[in-house]
Structure 1
Amino acid sequence: MPILSTAGSGRARLLVINPNSTVAFTEHIAHELGGDLPPGYEVVFYTAPVGAPASIEGVGDSVVTAAACLEELGPALGEYDGAIVACFSNHPLTHALRERVAYPVVSILEAPLLMGAQLGSHAGILTTSPRWESLLAHDVAALGLSGKNTAGVVSSGFSVLDLERKSRAEVAERLVQIALDEFYTRRKADVLVLGCAGMVGFTDQIRDRLPPDSMVVLEPVRCAFEMCVALVRSRARTAKGGLYATP
């Protein structure tokens, strides 16, 4: 069974989906978002069921986790007003949910790139393992967002699970150094997107080591959450006349 936790209460209910089965990642996300909810909102944090991959390391894991989440969530999907898919990829669950529901479903890959385009003109993505450099370049292109990722994708060298297994200090130091050396100094990026839901909580450490106002650092789950709230507040709905028509 998945781990469900709730925070806040109110008229609108948002669903934050961690599509891998590592509960600790969900807990970090809940801690980051749970203390800063807008009035009138309830948030449910969902973890993929036991048996689903513990981390998502490629296309195969994405397909398996999407199927596991869809099967378990099932009819409960109708209980929400908006959803966030907390995997930094063009995850098939995002598109499957947009077919199934009319409320907004926000991707943590799309949201920070779209927000970053309002804040700078040369955005880069700091991801996990080298495998994700090519995967994310492909995903960004498939979503038509290459022009919003002109500083490219760089690996931290960590696997997704390393972000949980290694000390926070070690992870933070590596992320800071790549942000400074690769993105700020060499690539002249003005926006840096942290390219994994497991990087939640590291934004301030990176910002604090940068020259003031030099490079915006965006945490993708926070961006997706804020975008989802904005869409729900504006009463936006997923269009059903084209790509996301209900089968």
Structure 2
Amino acid sequence: MSQIHILVVNPNSSESMTHEVEQNIRALFKKELNSKSLALTFATGPASAPLQIDGKESSLRSAEACLPMLTDAGSVYFYNKYDGVLVACFSDHPLVAELLSVIKSTTSKTVVMGLLDTSIHYCNMINSKPFSIITSNKEWVPILNESVESKYLTSSVINQSLWKGTISSDIQVLDLHLPENFAKIVDVIRKENIERLKSKIIILGCAGFSGLQTSLSKEFPGAGIVFVDSVAIGVRVVMMIADFNKSVSSP
């Protein structure tokens, strides 16, 4: 495998959140990074982007703020310098569609995806286990449910009733990593995602959850619960598609 270079974009302006995500993802992909099969660059939205994204209005503002740095050929974050761009917001983020709209009129093979679509695609491919999402604030519940149900589910998943919906932890994005909130997150997952919805796969539906999958798994030993770090699966999917694009374009 030739080296795949992926840009992970945190589309809000919280540098601390980007730093936490970067630390976790670099640890998870240590083998690939050490072997030089993968290179990662992390970007934070400019100061004009919202500090956190908590709904449609802030999503639109963040897309407007971030698109110029990804489409400026002189920018270190210019999309065509990378094999893939992962928009690290767990939503049908408008930045994905806007960047793809720019790319479609070019010859670029840069892969562009978001956290929601890559996570749901993973569950679609498993195609046997009930799954649900745990997210941050309550405003995301109807937004995510509508996006998943209108765009991302396969007919097989629908026919088997594997999709169980979205649950809110009722914790703001930037507070998800605070140690004092961990017990509340565990309690919500136990009562809602596992006991009520009977989920076997639980998608950590916010980049702010990144790095918590191991700690959460330890809270439910022997239950057969899989916690999906949405940033980690996003990087993996983008990496796989970008590598395939390179292989089919090689002479």
Deviation at 1:236, TM superposition (A): 6.8
The reply on whether 1:105 has 2:118 as its aligned counterpart is no
More helix by share: 2
Deviation at 1:29, TM superposition (A): 1.1
**Percentage of pairs with the same residue:** 27
TM alignment of 1:98-247, pairs within 5 A: 98-101=100-103, 102-119=109-126, 120-145=128-153, 147=158, 150-163=163-176, 167-168=178-179, 170-212=180-222, 214-235=224-245
Give the distance between the partners of 1:186 and 1:34, measured in 2 at CA: 34
Give the distance between the partners of 1:189 and 1:78, measured in 2 at CA: 39
TM alignment of 1:22-37, pairs within 5 A: 22-35=14-27, 36-37=29-30
Deviation at 1:162, TM superposition (A): 2.2
Length-normalised TM-score, structure 1:
0.84
Q: Structure 2: which amino acid aligns with 1:135?
A: I
Q: Structure 1: which amino acid aligns with 2:134?
A: L
1:57-76 per-residue CA deviation (whole Å, 9 max, x = no partner) reads 11111111111111123222
**What's the secondary structure of 1:188's corresponding residue?**
coil
Give the distance between the partners of 1:28 and 1:60, measured in 2 at CA: 25
- Judged with a 3 Å threshold, the aligned counterparts in structure 2 of structure 1 residues 116 and 194 are, in CA distance, closer, same or farther, namely same
The residue that corresponds to 1:5 in the other structure is: none
1:119-160 per-residue CA deviation (whole Å, 9 max, x = no partner) reads 443110001111111111122123232838621111101011
**What's the secondary structure of 1:105's corresponding residue?**
strand
Give the distance between the partners of 2:55 and 2:3, measured in 1 at CA: 37
1:78-102 per-residue CA deviation (whole Å, 9 max, x = no partner) reads 1111110100000011111222233
Give the distance between the partners of 1:100 and 1:234, measured in 2 at CA: 22
Give the distance between the partners of 1:183 and 1:128, measured in 2 at CA: 14
**What's the secondary structure of 1:109's corresponding residue?**
helix
**What's the secondary structure of 2:125's corresponding residue?**
coil
Give the distance between the partners of 1:93 and 1:131, measured in 2 at CA: 19
Give the distance between the partners of 1:41 and 1:206, measured in 2 at CA: 27
The residue that corresponds to 2:47 in the other structure is: 50
**What's the secondary structure of 1:143's corresponding residue?**
helix
Q: Quick check: 1:172–1:205 contact (8 Å CA) kept in 2? A: no
Instruction: Tell me whether 145-154 or 34-43 shows the greater mean CA deviation.
Output: 145-154
**Which one of 2, 5, 24 corresponds to residue 13 of structure 1?**
5
Length-normalised TM-score, structure 2:
0.83
- Structure 1 stretches lacking a partner, 5+ long: 1-9, 238-247
- Structure 2 stretches lacking a partner, 5+ long: 104-108
The residue that corresponds to 2:106 in the other structure is: none
Instruction: Tell me whether 214-223 or 172-181 shows the greater mean CA deviation.
Output: 172-181
Q: Quick check: 2:121–2:152 contact (8 Å CA) kept in 1? A: no
Q: Quick check: 1:190–1:214 contact (8 Å CA) kept in 2? A: yes
Q: Structure 1: which amino acid aligns with 2:138?
A: P
- Judged with a 3 Å threshold, the aligned counterparts in structure 2 of structure 1 residues 209 and 93 are, in CA distance, closer, same or farther, namely same
Give the distance between the partners of 2:117 and 2:79, measured in 1 at CA: 21
Instruction: Tell me whether 111-120 or 88-97 shows the greater mean CA deviation.
Output: 111-120
Q: Quick check: 1:194–1:217 contact (8 Å CA) kept in 2? A: yes
